[in-house]
């Protein structure tokens, strides 16, 4: 029997490349995003691969839809071996245009959207005492960065949640990983007008994710050099850290 994966946000960018790599390895990959046409394009692009792409258009912010989708996958396609909870968005705004609405949008999609998927996946995997889950966070989770107060907070919430859950899920036989990408060339970052250090190609980033999952790693980071730099940044006292972030916004 081919293994079954569910990848959210697989219509574009990182999720699309992760889905392609699992399909290449012979997995049956359920791909979701809101734009159905992206999913069907992915399906036709992967037709020659040994695995299968199964499109399911759905919005991760719809809690009952996510629960129903997991139920459908388990019933009609097979028990989920892996879920990659990758769907997310970045709304760029700073202190001058800080609003409740923008902050809530970011948290609703990135945090609650992920949780809407995570809860039914854990419920499905629990009785079998096996399964793997990856949550796509970001290197911005490490420390507050300018113009990313909501995005960074949403990703820090995912990373913190993952740290809390890893040992608890282990007791249930489920392996949880957190993915911390730096800048990856995708439609999300194509909008950025600022320099993006260590920008990676999405197929390379996806390969790192797949390898990290195969090794059962908790933290999957990329690119390594950027991750090391930001990890060092975590240890800086605030005086030094703010000297750097002030320069980033030109003050
Ligand atoms: N690219 C980077 O440099 C980078 C760095 C760090 C972390 N990340 C994280 O990596 C993940 C993927 O990013 P990406 O760069 O590949 O983004 P992307 O190119 O914008 O693709 C995002 C995918 O998620 C889907 N999506 C967005 N909101 C959704 C929703 N509410 N429900 C269902 N699907 C939704 C989008 O499709 P629809 O709009 O059709 O729904 C699309 O298929 C995100 O969590 C992002 O925060 C990216």
Q: Of 156, 73, 167, 63, which Cα lies nearest the Cα of 118?
A: 63
State pTM to two decimals: 0.98
Q: Are 157 and 101 in contact (CB under 8 A)?
A: no
Domain span holding position 76: 4-248
Token output for 180: 């911390």
C-alpha neighbours within 13 Å on the C-beta side of residue 212: 26
Catalytic residue positions, numbered? 151
Q: Are 146 and 245 in contact (CB under 8 A)?
A: yes
Q: What CATH number should be reported for the domain holding residue 228?
A: 3.40.50.720
- Closest residue by Cα to atom 45, ligand 1, is 88
Q: Of 153, 146, 154, 126, which Cα lies nearest the Cα of 61?
A: 154
Q: How many domains does the chain have?
A: 1
Tell me how far apart the alpha carbons of residues 84 and 121 are, in angstroms, rounded to a whole number: 10
Write the pLDDT tens digit of every residue in 25-78.
999 999 999 999 999 999 999 999 999 999 999 999 999 999 999 999 999 999
| Atom number, ligand 1, closest to the C-alpha of residue 12 | 43
Ligand 1 pocket: which of 33, 117, 182 to mutate (most atoms within 8 A of CB): 33
Token output for 198: 């260590």
Q: How far is the CA of 109 from the centre of ligand 1 (A)?
A: 10
Q: How far is the CA of 179 from the centre of ligand 1 (A)?
A: 13
| Atom number, ligand 1, closest to the C-alpha of residue 60 | 32
Tell me what percent of the chain is helix, strand and coil, each rounded to the nearest 5: 55, 15, 30
Q: How far is the CA of 243 from the centre of ligand 1 (A)?
A: 31
Write the pLDDT tens digit of every residue in 5-38.
999 999 999 999 999 999 999 999 999 999 999 9
């Amino acid at each position: 029997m081919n293994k079954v994966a569910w990848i959210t946000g697989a219509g574009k960018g990182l999720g699309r490349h992760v889905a392609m790599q699992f399909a290449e390895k012979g997995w049956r990959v359920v791909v979701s995003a809101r734009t159905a046409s992206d999913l069907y394009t992915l399906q036709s692009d992967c037709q020659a691969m040994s695995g299968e792409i199964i499109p399911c258009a759905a919005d991760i912010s719809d809690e009952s839809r996510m629960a129903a989708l997991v139920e459908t996958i388990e019933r009609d396609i097979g028990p989920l071996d892996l879920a990659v909870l990758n769907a997310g968005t970045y709304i760029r705004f700073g202190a001058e245009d800080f609003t409740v609405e923008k902050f809530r949008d970011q948290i609703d999609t990135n945090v609650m959207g992920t949780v809407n998927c995570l809860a039914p996946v854990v419920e499905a995997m629990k009785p079998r005492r096996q399964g793997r889950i990856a949550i796509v966070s970001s290197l911005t989770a490490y420390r507050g960065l300018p113009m990313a107060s909501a995005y960074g907070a949403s990703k820090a919430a995912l990373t913190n949640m993952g740290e809390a859950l890893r040992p608890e899920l282990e007791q249930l036989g489920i392996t949880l990983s957190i993915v911390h990408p730096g800048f990856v060339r995708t439609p999300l970052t194509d909008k950025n007008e600022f320099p993006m250090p260590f920008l990676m190609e999405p197929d390379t980033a996806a390969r790192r994710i797949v390898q990290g999952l195969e090794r059962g790693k908790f933290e999957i980071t990329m690119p390594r050099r950027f991750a090391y730099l930001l990890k060092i940044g975590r240890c800086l006292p605030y005086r030094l850290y703010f000297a750097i972030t002030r320069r980033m916004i030109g003050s």
